[in-house]
Structure 1
Amino acid sequence: MKRLTNQTEREAAQREIAALLAARGEWVCSEAGRLRSAPTTVRAVEWEVRLSAGGVHFSFWSDVGLRVWRVAAWEWTGERLVIEATRRAGAERAMLELVPRSSIQAGLAVLRAARGEACERLARLACDAPPPGALKIVRARLSAGARRSEPGRYARISLRRGRGLIAVTGPVVDLGKQEADAVVSSALLWWSRLQQRAGKERVTELWLLVPHELREGVRQRLALLREEVLRDLRLYEIDEEWRTLTLVPLPKLNELLTAQPRSPAAPRDELSEAARRIVALAPAEIDAVRARHGETLRYHGLPFARVRRVAEQEHVWFGTGKGTERRLLDKRSWPQLAKLLDELIAHRRADTPDARHALYRALPEAWLESLLRRDITRLDPGLVVSPLHAQFRLARAARGAGSRPVDLLALRRDGRLVVIELKVSEDVALALQAADYWRRIEAHRRHGHIARARLFGDAGMTDEPPLVYLAAPGLRFHRAFQTLASCITPEIEMYRFDINEDWRTGVRVLRRTRVSEDVDGLV
């Protein structure tokens, strides 16, 4: 690989990489060594190779926003562009592989073979479970991919035991702990299909095989399911070498709710002077998410400025990118901030002339959340939203099952909490994800954290578990939503809100239904 050790090499790399990318209209970017089912598509207008004092920076838009990498070394093999890259001052490293869209089929064949081999290994591992010789592999294949030509992320294995069958599934890709909802949802959906089409051979059990990183998250999600579903389900942890399986005991939901969660830190009540000045530039569009050490300012949900207190002084960084893409705000850079706001005003609005612009497309769920945060009565006239909802981060679960903020936390007029989860695109894991939010908020409620934080001022709360509102455009609820919602314990009261497709022009509720009153999936 060509390493960038001096300015001449950096200048040459910037020119040559930019020329390679420009020569082909569309690329697919993935991280080498980490098997992903949905690499990022990088189009001509969505990338930039820039030379700066800090080196060569390659940036592109992805589903999670702008990604910025510093190029340490690179190589063009004739088929793919390989970039050794770093982020966050070297704290994060990756080997990026960019393949022209026309060469994708060859890459998919390699990916399919690697995942197929992992599937076979999982099948042999499950077949060796005690007692020896009791199980036989009937079939081992991959799940369907996100797209027709892509290999799936999960193994689908059938084992024979006597006259019955055991369904076995587990990931064959590197998944983080945040993927627990997707892992369990995929397994339940497959299990439902097996139950519906089972003929003479009865499928008696469902085994989930997961690595250590997913163990705790999956274990907690399973506690949210109905007893009828859990009855035939087993969870196994795979050791690091993929040589042994360990049966994992499943907790009762009440055990998770009575465990003491970490008390969230209370953010500041008042905005900083710097934040107030920026919000005043477009008060109808800009909101502030407060934290202990400052604020994040968002334009229709898109973060564009951050205020931090360092040594008792306020400092502002602005930019819609990350890391080196942000600039420190001072007298000289105010014009650049004004220019950024002009671009946001021009492109991040409901009647934009260019719906493909990156500023319009970025973080759509945050945009929807910001609209409802300003006027939650559009969803339900009886709600009051917490002004500090975005700061009330859900405490980390035991052994690192992750922490994350709930979309919206509201209070009904009768004093009952409402957990609100928003989607603008199909997400098969919506029901389980919302149930997990409910679990975390209910644990905080039981331990008095929400009352002590005074998230709703002097308003009183009833001693009842929260409700769950799931809101999305009507055509954006996944077709398997009802099947998976039927697996959730009836202790969680869920409501589905179908909103208008053109929600950016104003949110309107088209239909509201209670999910638990129409369950006919697995149970």
Structure 2
Amino acid sequence: MALAPPRRAHYETAHSAGLVKQETGSSQQETARSFSFPMPPRPSADKSVAPQTAAQIATAIEDFVAQYGEAAILEDGKVLFDLRSAKYTLSTEHDRCTLHLWSEERNMVRRILSATPRNGSLRLSTQRFGQAQPKLLELVSSRERRTPTTREAARTRYLKTLERVLQREFPDWKPDAFRTAMDLERSFGPAYARGSLIRGNQAWAVIGVNEQETATTIDGILTLGILWLHHCREQAGGRRLYQGLKLILPRGTATLTLSRLAWLNEAAAQWRLYELDQNTEELTPRDAADQGNLRTRLVHHPDEKAASERFADAIEQVMQLVPAGEEQRVEQRLRSTAELAFLLHGMEFARARIGLAPNSFARTLEITAGVDETPLTSATCREIAARIAELFRRRRAFGSATDFARRGQRPSRRIGAASATAAHSRLQLRAERPAEEGNPAQDPLYRAAPERWLESVLRRDLAPLTRSLAPQPRVASLPRAEAFANDPDPDTRGNRADRPESVPPFAEAGNPHEPRVIPHLDPNHVYTQVPAIAGASDRGLLDLLGVTADGRLAVIELKADDDLQLALQGLDYWIRVRHHHLQTADATTGLGEFQRHGYFRGVELSPLPPRLYLVAPTLYIHPATETILRYLSPHVEWNLLALDERWRQEIRVIWRKQSGRS
């Protein structure tokens, strides 16, 4: 029986910045297919509202999201998902409205019992699978719940308060040209108050944020502050000397910014941070050296060999569902010691769980597939296999006009050895609707979760990221007839970043008789989504953690979209990795903290700090990223790597920048 109203074939919508394009007066939505399976309906537990059909609930949710391009999901007043970046799917099979949400931070599946409009929002009565008690979620028009009038009024009041406080605290300096006006050309938004303190030809750049802004906005102040200081210096044109930057944060919110501040270049500028109590107008200076204990922990890395043996039966059953010849594309990621996920280019399609039988110690094995976690049985096996085949057909790296040289990959069934990262995303797929054959790149399943796909490609082959990042010594007294002096490194031919002039003179290369040490990343020791590196308010997972051939740890931050916070977000993880790396080695074993927790077994780690790699497609590196990187401390060794836009086919570094070089 058709539940959908006219012009709505289904409600499975992959919603993200890349999948939904908002236009004036209309919205264009691309549709993903439901990878869900029949489940018996449950009686509604919500008695407070009139019964709604699944189609009516889904219609209400989709209409709300289509109307408000900045919609967000709240629970108890806290933002769980910002739908500008998070993704969601809706399923109405068997008159059950199922909502699946996932983002960088979390993953959630709920049955929606009702959707009730209230004060410009949509109240969702939800039920978690396996629980009878309903719980309320709120779908709001914006994560910024204040109306524009209220928001602007708060910012205007803060601007006046800030000028008054600065005048009192720094009587010898004059506040000048403070404003909150938006300047998109220079990436300045209205949430930040910015201006200068002037005394003769001396000046300080000042930026502040009020306590009513979101935590993400407050934590992003240092990035905007660096850009503001840089802009002030450019505009001054030598007429004024800007000594540095003063940051004004709300009371109790400076922890993350303090940790970043300690790793900025003191030679480039002076950095001052203050906390402002807006009620008392008390301004308190904070010292970057006084950060207290870094809030981060390291969890033990699971034994993948033991897990492979434990999940051997599950692996065999899932592999039988995968199309013939496609086994090498399956990624196996341990969620815990009792759960193993199976993914395709970062997208989860099945999961195995080991449990205990009731009233006994006998082990049980359950394999589920799809967002509804349909159990794999003899009755569902054929349908699940058909839909997995459809997923594998559509989510693949299609060929491009450029014929890249492909390296052969041997299939690997070892847990953690396949080509991807952990991803909390199980996109839904409905098999009855054919994919767009005309342009496969427009398929929602092809475009979904690009950062997860990028991680999977890099896990398979990290070598392109670090080819020729160190000079190759050349022996002048032993020329080879078959090679020319200005030949690029043969390992990097075809990479436009390798120009002859990038090879330093022989004198700079060092003693040619010393062993050649190239900081290539070791493909045998790469860890994805390390859950230990926590502390930042917006994210708690490091994209990739590896080690180079000379034993240096490598923090690899990936982005597949235009993110202004790329540089400092990568710095956050670098700080935490460095913190764990510098912990005192065990007196008995001599192992550092990472190796005591099961990471980098058999590797002799260098005592030097980690290297930081920032990786993104070339068109998605924000223009301001290089400016921000120039203000980092010289103790932070960073590499900015721009990838060819066809990275799904093969990773190629188009250009790169390194710390200490122009």
- TM-score under structure 1 length normalisation: 0.77
Alignment length (residue pairs): 491
Distance 1:220 1:390, change over 3 A: same
User: 2:215·2:537 contact (CA, 8 Å) conserved in 1?
Assistant: no
Residue 300 (structure 1) aligns with: 345
Residue 444 (structure 1) aligns with: 580
Residue 493 (structure 1) aligns with: 637
The letter of the residue matching 2:272 is: L
Residue 487 (structure 2) aligns with: none
Tell me which of the two structures has the higher relative contact order, counting C-alpha pairs closer than 8 angstroms and 6 or more residues apart: 2
User: 1:141·1:157 contact (CA, 8 Å) conserved in 2?
Assistant: yes
> How far does the alpha carbon of each residue in 1:343-368 deviate from its partner, in whole angstroms, 9 at most, with x for none?
32122112274333332222101101
> 2: distance between equivalents of 1:130 and 1:24?
42
Distance 1:4 1:469, change over 3 A: same
> 1: distance between equivalents of 2:218 and 2:145?
27
SS of 1:298 mapped into structure 2: strand
Distance 1:443 1:109, change over 3 A: closer
Residue 104 (structure 1) aligns with: none
User: 1:275·1:288 contact (CA, 8 Å) conserved in 2?
Assistant: no
Match status 1:389 vs 2:527 = yes
User: 1:296·1:307 contact (CA, 8 Å) conserved in 2?
Assistant: yes
> 1: distance between equivalents of 2:186 and 2:108?
23
> How far does the alpha carbon of each residue in 1:370-419 deviate from its partner, in whole angstroms, 9 at most, with x for none?
1110122232353213556126333444xx75773322222222222222
1:328-477 aligned at under 5 Å gives the runs 328-351=375-398, 353-380=439-466, 382-387=520-525, 389-390=527-528, 392-397=530-535, 404-447=540-583, 448-477=592-621
User: 1:28·1:39 contact (CA, 8 Å) conserved in 2?
Assistant: no
The one of 137, 156, 179 aligned to 1:120? 156
The one of 187, 195, 207 aligned to 2:233? 195
SS of 2:178 mapped into structure 1: strand
* Superposed displacement of residue 498, structure 1: 2.2
Q: Which moved more, 1:284-293 or 1:10-19?
A: 10-19
Residue 152 (structure 1) aligns with: 189
SS of 2:440 mapped into structure 1: coil
- TM-score under structure 2 length normalisation: 0.63
The letter of the residue matching 2:611 is: L
The letter of the residue matching 1:310 is: G
> 2: distance between equivalents of 1:20 and 1:462?
53
SS of 1:517 mapped into structure 2: coil
SS of 1:152 mapped into structure 2: coil
User: 1:176·1:213 contact (CA, 8 Å) conserved in 2?
Assistant: no
The one of 289, 304, 311 aligned to 1:269? 304
> 1: distance between equivalents of 2:313 and 2:153?
56
Residue 315 (structure 1) aligns with: 366
* Superposed displacement of residue 283, structure 1: 2.8
> How far does the alpha carbon of each residue in 1:37-87 deviate from its partner, in whole angstroms, 9 at most, with x for none?
x97469xx986463768x64456788989875654654458x966334557
Distance 1:143 1:327, change over 3 A: farther
The one of 286, 291, 297 aligned to 1:248? 286
The one of 244, 247, 266 aligned to 1:208? 247
User: 1:157·1:167 contact (CA, 8 Å) conserved in 2?
Assistant: yes
User: 2:459·2:526 contact (CA, 8 Å) conserved in 1?
Assistant: no
Q: Which moved more, 1:365-374 or 1:335-344?
A: 335-344
Q: Which moved more, 1:185-194 or 1:508-517?
A: 508-517
* Superposed displacement of residue 143, structure 1: 3.8
> 2: distance between equivalents of 1:51 and 1:10?
17
> How far does the alpha carbon of each residue in 1:473-509 deviate from its partner, in whole angstroms, 9 at most, with x for none?
2222110111000111111111122221111111122
SS of 2:463 mapped into structure 1: helix
User: 1:47·1:61 contact (CA, 8 Å) conserved in 2?
Assistant: no
> How far does the alpha carbon of each residue in 1:422-450 deviate from its partner, in whole angstroms, 9 at most, with x for none?
22222111111222221111222222122
SS of 1:505 mapped into structure 2: coil
Distance 1:497 1:83, change over 3 A: same
Structure 1 unaligned blocks of 5 or more: 100-106, 519-523
Task: Give the aligned CA root-mean-square deviation in angstroms.
Answer: 4.4
Q: Which moved more, 1:15-24 or 1:359-368?
A: 15-24
Structure 2 unaligned blocks of 5 or more: 1-43, 357-362, 399-436, 468-519, 584-591
Distance 1:374 1:144, change over 3 A: same
* Superposed displacement of residue 514, structure 1: 1.5
Distance 1:130 1:513, change over 3 A: closer
User: 1:297·1:304 contact (CA, 8 Å) conserved in 2?
Assistant: yes
Distance 1:328 1:489, change over 3 A: farther
> 2: distance between equivalents of 1:231 and 1:377?
38
The letter of the residue matching 2:123 is: I
SS of 1:123 mapped into structure 2: helix
Residue 69 (structure 2) aligns with: 28
Distance 1:516 1:170, change over 3 A: farther
In proportion to residue count, which structure has more helix?
Answer: 1
User: 2:165·2:281 contact (CA, 8 Å) conserved in 1?
Assistant: no
Distance 1:136 1:372, change over 3 A: closer
> How far does the alpha carbon of each residue in 1:161-217 deviate from its partner, in whole angstroms, 9 at most, with x for none?
66556523226764346x676332122212221221137666566333334674222
The letter of the residue matching 2:248 is: L
Distance 1:8 1:407, change over 3 A: closer
* Superposed displacement of residue 91, structure 1: 9.5
User: 2:243·2:269 contact (CA, 8 Å) conserved in 1?
Assistant: no
> 1: distance between equivalents of 2:73 and 2:106?
20
In proportion to residue count, which structure has more strand?
Answer: 1
Q: Which moved more, 1:307-316 or 1:131-140?
A: 131-140
Distance 1:60 1:216, change over 3 A: closer
Distance 1:191 1:115, change over 3 A: farther
> 2: distance between equivalents of 1:214 and 1:91?
34
Distance 1:342 1:445, change over 3 A: same
> 1: distance between equivalents of 2:529 and 2:54?
42
The one of 509, 516, 519 aligned to 2:653? 509
Which one has the largest radius of gyration? 2
